[in-house]
Amino acid sequence: MEAALVYRRPGTIRLQTFARMGFAVFDLVLADGQYHLLFPMQGKSQKGSVAELDHKNALGAPISLGLLATLGSLGGTFLPTDQVVLREENDQYVLDVMPVSDGGNVARRLWFTRSTLEVARQDLFDAAGALQATMVYQDYRAVGSTSAGPLTWPTRVQAEDGLGRTKLVLTVHDVIPNPELTSQDWGSVEVGTNQ
C-alpha cells in the first residue's frame, strides 16, 4: 500500500488506500459498530460487525491493526467511568486505563515521554487481560498549532498484534488537522449486510 487517506468524524471513520500506481486497493467505512469494505478493482465488498473484522480473510487482521495504528491512542477517549492509574517508569510516565465494567483489568496502557508528554507506546488488552496489540509512536512533527502550542503527530508508527502474527510500519508523510470535508469526501458507502 502506497498511500492512505483517513477521514474521521464522530461515529464514522473512512480509510481509503491506494497502490503506487494510484488505483484504489480498498475503501473501508466504519460506522455504529459496523464496517463496509469495498474492493474497487475486484468489484466486491464485505459488510459486517467491526468485532468480526479480525477474523475475515487475509485482509481483516492487517486492516484492524492499521486502524489501531492510525487511530489508537491518538483518537481514543476516556469514559467518565474509567479508572486511571499514573506511575513513573524509567524516563516515561505510564498510564493504565481500566474500565469499571471490565472488573479492573487494564484495557489500555499508554507510555508518555516526560519532556513532551507525547504518546510513545500503547498496549491494548482484551477483557481477560490478554495483549491484543502494541503500537510504538516515533518521530513526532508539528502539523499545526493550537492556543496551547504546536500540534504534533507521529510520522512513524510500528504496530504488532498480541500474537506476533501481524506487523506493520506506518509512515505518515502529511497530516491536515480538521480539514473542511464535504459529503463527497464521505461517499455514498452504506454499512449493512454482506454482499
Residue ranges per structural domain of the chain: 3-186
Instruction: Give tens-digit pLDDT for 125-178.
Output: 888 889 988 999 999 998 888 787 888 888 888 989 888 888 888 887 777 776
To which residue does cell 500540534 refer?
A: 151
pLDDT of residue 25: 80
pLDDT at residue 195 is higher than 50: no
* Choice among 30-44, 68-82, 92-106 with the minimum mean pLDDT: 68-82
Q: Could you give the percent of the chain with pLDDT greater than 90?
A: 17
pLDDT of residue 73: 40
pLDDT one-digit tens code per residue, 59-88: 677 777 777 776 664 345 555 667 889 999
3-186 homologous superfamily: Lipoprotein localisation LolA/LolB/LppX (2.50.20.10)
Q: What does the pLDDT average to over 28-44?
A: 83
Name the pLDDT band for 32 (thresholds 50, 70, 90).
Answer: confident
Q: For the chain, what is the mean pLDDT?
A: 78
pTM of the model as a whole: 0.71
Torsion angle (degrees, nearest 10) of CA 64, 53, 161, 85:
80
